[in-house]
Amino acid sequence: MTRAAGAFAVVYAGGKTYRCTTRGRLRKALGVRVVPGDRVVVVPTGPEEGVVQSVLPRTSELVKPTARDAGRLQVLAANVDQACVVFSTASPDPDPMAVDRFLALAEAAGLVPFLCFNKLDLAEPGPLRELYESLGYRVVATSARTGQGLDRLRAQLAGHLTVLVGPSGVGKSSLVNALNPQARRKVGEVGRRGRGRHTTTDAQLIPVDGQGFVVDTPGFQVLDFVHLEPDAVRQAFPEIARLAAGCRFPDCSHRQEPGCAVREEAARGKVAASRMRSYLALLEEAEEAWRARYRSRREG
Rounded to whole angstroms, the Cα distance separating 28 from 57 reads 16
Least separation, in Å, of the C-beta of 227 and ligand GTP? 20
Residue 230 is a binding residue for ligand GTP (CB under 6 A): no
H or E element in which residue 30 lies: helix 24-30
From residue 166 to residue 185, what is the string marking binding to Mg ion with x (rule CB under 5 A)? ------xx------------
Residues within window 36-95 making contact with ligand GTP, judged by CB under 6 A: none
Separation of first and last alpha carbons in the chain: 39
Rounded to whole angstroms, the Cα distance separating 176 from 165 reads 12
Rounded to whole angstroms, the Cα distance separating 161 from 77 reads 10
Residue 122 is a binding residue for ligand GTP (CB under 6 A): yes
Strands 112-118 and 139-141 turn out to be parallel
From residue 252 to residue 271, what is the string marking binding to Zn ion with x (rule CB under 5 A)? x-x-----x-x---------
Q: Would you call 220 helix, strand, or coil by DSSP?
A: coil
From residue 248 to residue 267, what is the string marking binding to Mg ion with x (rule CB under 5 A)? --------------------
The residue sitting closest to Mg ion, measured at its beta carbon, is 200
169 binds, among Zn ion, Mg ion, ligand GTP, none (CB under 5 to 8 A by kind): ligand GTP
| Closer of 254 and 275 to Zn ion (Cβ) | 254
3-state helix, strand, coil in the chain (%, to 5): 35, 25, 45
Residue 169 is a binding residue for ligand GTP (CB under 6 A): yes
